[in-house]
Chains A and B, each alone.
Chain A
């Protein structure tokens, strides 16, 4: 109701807001309290960790905000990992940023490190050792990471973004609202995949298509998915698929939480997550084919580049790519192949020889950033194949190129052939 101030702060929180713990903490608390009042939250909740994405440069305001925090002496009081920046600090030659982005993007990344954040520079912190416990409250930004930490790990975050993420890390608090509340985590919608052929669901290309369909049907609502195979403890295959599903659903809709019945931690049964008045939608192979086609804007078989690793490539994805490449021909000289990953995963991929296998085939490995948020692809590239539904969703508008969605195997086959190669038999 207008005029009702339901928010009650603890003595500790009032002290932080009053500036007794320094001006930086007070400023961050003003932001948290401002959002809590707008949301109608009744209290704040302490968080165990944060993941901040304000380190990607969008303009001077973000830089001045972060440098203000540094000058006020701010330090994060909970573990706070960092999302991608605008630059690849390990391989600077791969990014062709303009001078403003190069200079200010670097300052923005440095300012976040000065606040005490962990510079993992990855959109997949869950692959760099940041995996909060089930039921813990966290403040995560970056839509795929939000969907993953809520759905796959069962920790609780609302949708956070620039400024509020780092403010939460400094204050160690967020409004107790949105997906922090149990009542908001129930499914309003059920998608049933039991009529989709097992052979299609066993191919990794089905999973971004599932995500695109989920995003389209759910919007920002919580959905439960039934009839999907997999085991999150199988060494990475299922986790990689669910990562792709969530990243695409968060892009095509505003999905921040989904439950896969029998797989994800909050959904041992459908009854455990089913909200009142939830409706059920049966899904067919035809629906998934349609979703895949929406992620493929290219009209011809011609191809200029292949982009893998959005969200960042995992170690198990590197292992799968190395298996595809072993003893086979190199990529066509007409195709630029990029793999985006984190520096932590790259170090492990180097140790296991996967990175050299990719480079020997003609691929280039990018860290700390991603091929769709900064200038990496050379001018003149028009059609790009990817195994990422998220990349396929954003790249046409961000980069002005056409996309083709395919499986990892199809991306490799296409990069070798120099043109789009896809196996249509799976799709019926």
Chain B
């Protein structure tokens, strides 16, 4: 296994939405609903979420699955419009609710928020604070996530 010390680790996944981004990983301990869980500036406000108070804006957001309401689509699109969206989304399962938010923002605002599906074990190797570069081709082609140590 690579990724120890300063060696970068490169993970291969499946592109759910194309785009390219660099940022710092925020690995969520529990699923997050954007609707009702994130404020207009991208701060986690869900009272039950262990990472309440963290911001998703500009982060490479890693979570096993999304949670809850289909209104999360509109909330993600609104975060992209206002510049408070994550830089990239890394998921263990395809979540159409979030994919649609990225597709609509691409149509209306020309943004390219990469969304990548990784194997659950690979996703777990990404730790909060790590820097990551995400490259996702047009779905369902390949995607890569290259992470360096903290």
A-side residues, CB < 8 A to B, are: 2-6, 27, 30-31, 34-35, 37-40, 53-54, 56, 58-62, 64-65, 68, 141, 143, 159-164, 254, 397-398
Question: B78 and A5: CB pair below 8 A?
Answer: no
Chain B residues with Cβ below 8 Å from A27 are 107
A161→B101 CA distance, assembly (Å): 10
User: B19-27, B127-135, B137-145: which lies at the A interface?
Assistant: B137-145
A154 vs chain B, min Cβ distance (A): 22
A54→B71 CA distance, assembly (Å): 8
Question: A163 and B77: CB pair below 8 A?
Answer: yes
Total chain B interface residues with beta-carbon distance under 8 A: 41
Q: Which one of A34, A38, A59, A398 contacts B78 once the chains associate, using CB atoms below 8 Å?
A: A59
Chain B residues with Cβ below 8 Å from A54 are 74
A78→B31 CA distance, assembly (Å): 35
Question: A254 and B68: CB pair below 8 A?
Answer: yes
**9 pairs, A vs B, C-beta closer than 8 Å:** A2-B142, A3-B141, A60-B81, A61-B105, A64-B81, A159-B70, A160-B70, A162-B77, A164-B100
Chain A residues with Cβ below 8 Å from B75 are 58-59
A166 vs chain B, min Cβ distance (A): 10
A143→B67 CA distance, assembly (Å): 13
| B1 within 8 Å of A (CB atoms) | no
Q: Which one of B13, B36, B81, B104 contacts A2 once the chains associate, using CB atoms below 8 Å?
A: B13
Which residues from 24 to 45 on chain B have a C-beta closer than 8 Å to any C-beta of chain A?
Answer: 35-36, 40
Chain B residues with Cβ below 8 Å from A53 are 70-71
| B16 within 8 Å of A (CB atoms) | yes
Question: B108 and A3: CB pair below 8 A?
Answer: no
- Looking across the interface, which residue of chain A has its beta carbon closest to that of B76? A61
Given contacts A27-B107, A53-B70, A162-B73, contact A3 B140 (CB under 8 A): yes
Q: Which one of A3, A39, A141 contacts B142 once the chains associate, using CB atoms below 8 Å?
A: A3
Question: A64 and B73: CB pair below 8 A?
Answer: no
Q: Encode contact with A along B80-104: 1 for CB under 8 Å, 0 otherwise.
A: 1110000000000010110111011
A141→B13 CA distance, assembly (Å): 30
Given contacts A61-B105, A161-B71, contact A2 B16 (CB under 8 A): no
Question: A31 and B70: CB pair below 8 A?
Answer: no
Question: A37 and B96: CB pair below 8 A?
Answer: no
Given contacts A60-B78, A61-B81, contact A68 B100 (CB under 8 A): no
Chain A residues with Cβ below 8 Å from B16 are 38
- Looking across the interface, which residue of chain A has its beta carbon closest to that of B45? A397
Question: B70 and A2: CB pair below 8 A?
Answer: no
Q: Which one of A35, A39, A64, A160 contacts B103 once the chains associate, using CB atoms below 8 Å?
A: A35
A38→B105 CA distance, assembly (Å): 16
Question: B142 and A31: CB pair below 8 A?
Answer: no
A5→B138 CA distance, assembly (Å): 10
Chain B residues with Cβ below 8 Å from A163 are 73-74, 77, 100-101, 103-104
Question: B97 and A31: CB pair below 8 A?
Answer: no
Q: Which one of B82, B100, B105, B140 contacts A162 once the chains associate, using CB atoms below 8 Å?
A: B100
